[in-house]
Amino acid sequence: MGVSYFLYLSCLGLAITAQDQDCTRPVGSPNTVLTDNRDTFPSGTTVTFECVTGYITAGGSARITCTAGTWSPLRLTCERRNCGSAEEVENGQIDYPEGTHFGDKLVVTCNTGFTLVGRHEILCGVNGWIDRLPVCEVVTCSSPPPFVNGSFSPVRDTYNYGEVVQYKCQKDYTLDGSKSISCSENEQFKPSPPTCVKVDCPDPLIQNSEFVQGSRPPHGYLATVTLKCITGYQMTGEGTLTCQINSQWSPGLPSCTRGPGPTTPENNKGHVLRDVLISLGVTGAVLLVQHFGL
């Protein structure tokens, strides 16, 4: 029995020793992952680590070995993948608000007058930027509407951003608005196209006034007329008028109203009567008083 008991203890010790020599699943360094799915590893086992998705090897060995239940140190270091700066976008710019590493986004914006075709944002992936850069195409405007009683140039089907159209009117017509418009960033011409209007201000007939100088009918745009009131009348308002684009005079028409009259014997009868009495003498003065009841 003694020998059997000794053999039993020896086998048990060997079993315990063998069990103690196994290694549990190793824990890697930051941003690494074990390529083996086992949970325990016999002594002498060598395993390999690799960088997690989005990270690349920065140095050190990726292999470790289990020796008597202990893993050798893992020397592998991993760093976040850097996609770097993307190519330039013509007529646009690229911003990197987060950076240029894995998981970051770049943002593309176009210059004024250009519109973006493609994706506005692009993600940095495992193998670099994961989509093509967009392009910035120039904004275009359709041809302006037909222009009555005038013309514009140049005449095209479409106009690029910033291109200018010039307007002019036929004879006897006046341009109402800007003589030039340009294609804007919202695909519309600014300012709005002008119109050609026929300006004809009515003859400024003002009672008790007379013409001094200026335009004769027809009165076109910016024609001027100067009037004055006839003798005995006073003017209220301005005497010089200018014909405006709306065929109205500016400022408004004046008026002529009767002014204060000249001095008369009735208004100054005291002085006149005194002079008459003196010239007539006493007798004449008495007769004058009796006749007029003065």
Q: Which domain range does residue 55 map to?
A: 2-80
With respect to residue 38, please indicate whether it lies within any of the assigned structural domains: yes
6 and 47 fall within a common domain = yes
With respect to residue 129, please indicate whether it lies within any of the assigned structural domains: yes
| Final residue of a structural domain among 151, 180, 197 | 197
| Final residue of a structural domain among 182, 197, 212 | 197
80-98: b (≥16 Cβ within 10 Å) or e = bbebeebeebebbebeeee
Residue 293's pLDDT is: 47
Rounded Cα gap, residues 281 and 288, in angstroms = 11
- Residue 117 bridge partners (DSSP): 135
With respect to residue 104, please indicate whether it lies within any of the assigned structural domains: yes
With respect to residue 61, please indicate whether it lies within any of the assigned structural domains: yes
111 and 164 fall within a common domain = no
Task: Please state, in angstroms and as integers, the Cα–Cα distance from residue 203 to each residue in 125, 206, 212, 215, following that order.
Answer: 80, 9, 14, 9
Whether the bond into 202 is cis, omega within 30 of 0: no
With respect to residue 28, please indicate whether it lies within any of the assigned structural domains: yes
With respect to residue 281, please indicate whether it lies within any of the assigned structural domains: no
Total domains in the chain come to 3
* CATH code assigned at 16: 2.10.70.10
Q: pLDDT tens for the chain, 294 residues: list them.
A: 444 444 343 444 444 444 569 999 999 999 999 999 999 999 999 999 999 999 999 999 999 999 999 999 999 999 999 999 999 999 999 999 999 999 999 999 999 999 999 999 999 999 999 999 999 999 999 999 999 999 999 999 999 999 999 999 999 999 999 999 999 999 999 999 999 999 999 999 999 999 999 999 999 999 999 999 999 999 999 999 999 999 999 999 999 999 876 544 444 444 444 444 445 454 444 344 444 444
184-216: b (≥16 Cβ within 10 Å) or e = bbeeebeeebbbbbebebeebebeebeeeebbe
Residue 259's pLDDT is: 82
39 and 28 fall within a common domain = yes
107 and 129 fall within a common domain = yes
Q: Which of 228, 233, 229 is nearest to 213 (CA)?
A: 228
Residue 262's pLDDT is: 54
Rounded Cα gap, residues 112 and 75, in angstroms = 52
112 and 144 fall within a common domain = no
* Structure-block tokens of residue 69: 């239940």
